[in-house]
Structure 1
């Protein structure tokens, strides 16, 4: 990321020199430093509905630092992210995570995808009650009753596109390039979902209006705290 900014500054300086103008001074702010991030995530952290780039504004800081470190350290692989983050310190990644977690930007409107009644019933069953017989917890049990996430490390599920949700669940199920090398609780859960369940959940989530706030860790059931303990511990900086 820093290399991108330095490269951009070099280009602007060269252009100014050729035309005899005054070099452009770029302010040393976090908003300027993260411009490389907004190439994919959008200038206002909003991407097209068909894009596979998630909203990161307002996500819990702990969740964001976990993802940044996973990309940097090779536990989760996506080449553009790996290149941007290589050699960045934990301290700088915390600054980036803090910046994006503090952003309060408007959410997109729901996608308005048509669903059959049986699809709605299936999605709501998994989202609100899960499937205890298959050891699948309800989405709301981990991501909060409003599905807006749990501080410090569990993200919200609303405001994301159907394409992105489907791709992420598919990655966890199939071990795609977007998934980490170290298994986590979502990979265990996603591998038990059928194609119909993945499609129903993705449609339902993309159809919802966004409201509410992330819940505190105290609202997470003890067994789920244990199940997600690795992510929570890393987010709190207690490796």
Structure 2
């Protein structure tokens, strides 16, 4: 177990004493149908901040991805998958304490993270990877990816696809490798072969294009 994980776990245990939140494990049906509680979500987010940053901005290089501003539907699905063991990551379940959270907790946490506007509180400068042909990446993206992820890579609720713009290139590279290896499912389809015919350069170009969408200059 890495020293960084142990430090995060220690911080989590120390933090838990100040986290004035009792997860709604016994939440009623009416709670589950209620509007998400952003104040509750903000308090629950203190655990997430140990790895993802105060504003869920992630870490440059993508060890921990940007979460701020991702669609609430996607965040809720991802958090539920981690809580229920569909996806595994010790930092998410141990440090984040997801195993104890109710559906209402997760909905409130997701709504809070989705509401964070990094342009206001913590502007990001996501670098474009060296060697990427952004124009080729744009052509491939609009041909093959736009239908699911949106013209501006803003995500698509109907297809449960995430926002990709503004995400760190290192994180995107790792997820694509997982899709190709079959250790993570793409597009909710275990037989999906989206990335099989892409060359390494094509993938670099697509990711390079995605890093430019949020550029303000």
TM-score by length of 1: 0.65
| Deviation digits for residues 46-99 of structure 1 (CA, Å, limit 9, x no counterpart) | 233213222212211111110011111111121211332113211211111111
Distance 1:76 1:180 in 2: 10
Gaps of 5+ in 1: 13-25, 130-137, 212-239
Deviation at 1:139, TM superposition (A): 1.4
Between structure 1 and structure 2, the one with the greater Rg is: 1
Are 2:62 and 1:44 equivalent residues in the alignment?
A: no
Tell me how many residue pairs correspond in the alignment: 182
Identify which of 127, 132, 141 aligns with 2:147.
Answer: 141
Q: Please point out which of 109, 114, 120 is paired with 2:125.
A: 109
Alignment RMSD: 2.9
Q: Distance in 1 between matches of 2:191 and 2:131?
A: 25
Contact 1:75 1:180 in 2 (8 A): no
Please list, as runs of the form range in 1=range in 2, the aligned pairs for 1:1-239 lying within 5 A after superposition: 7-8=14-15, 10=17, 29-30=39-40, 31-83=42-94, 84-106=97-119, 107-115=123-131, 119-129=133-143, 138-151=144-157, 153-176=160-183, 179=184, 184=189, 187-210=192-215
Instruction: State the Cα deviation string for residues 11-45 of structure 1 (Å, max 9, x = none).
Output: x7xxxxxxxxxxxxx66643232111011111122
| Cα deviation 1:206-233 (Å, max 9, x = unaligned) | 233358xxxxxxxxxxxxxxxxxxxxxx
- Whether contact under 8 Å (1:113, 1:207) holds in the other structure is no
Unaligned runs of 5+ in 2: 1-10, 22-38
Q: Closer, same or farther in 2 for the Cα pair 1:81/1:27, shift >3 Å?
A: closer
Tell me which residue corresponds to 1:224.
none
Change (3 A) 1:69 1:181: farther
Taking structure 2 as the reference length, what is the TM-score of the superposition? 0.71
1:181-226 deviations in whole A, cap 9, x for unaligned?
A: 9953795323443322222212222233358xxxxxxxxxxxxxxx
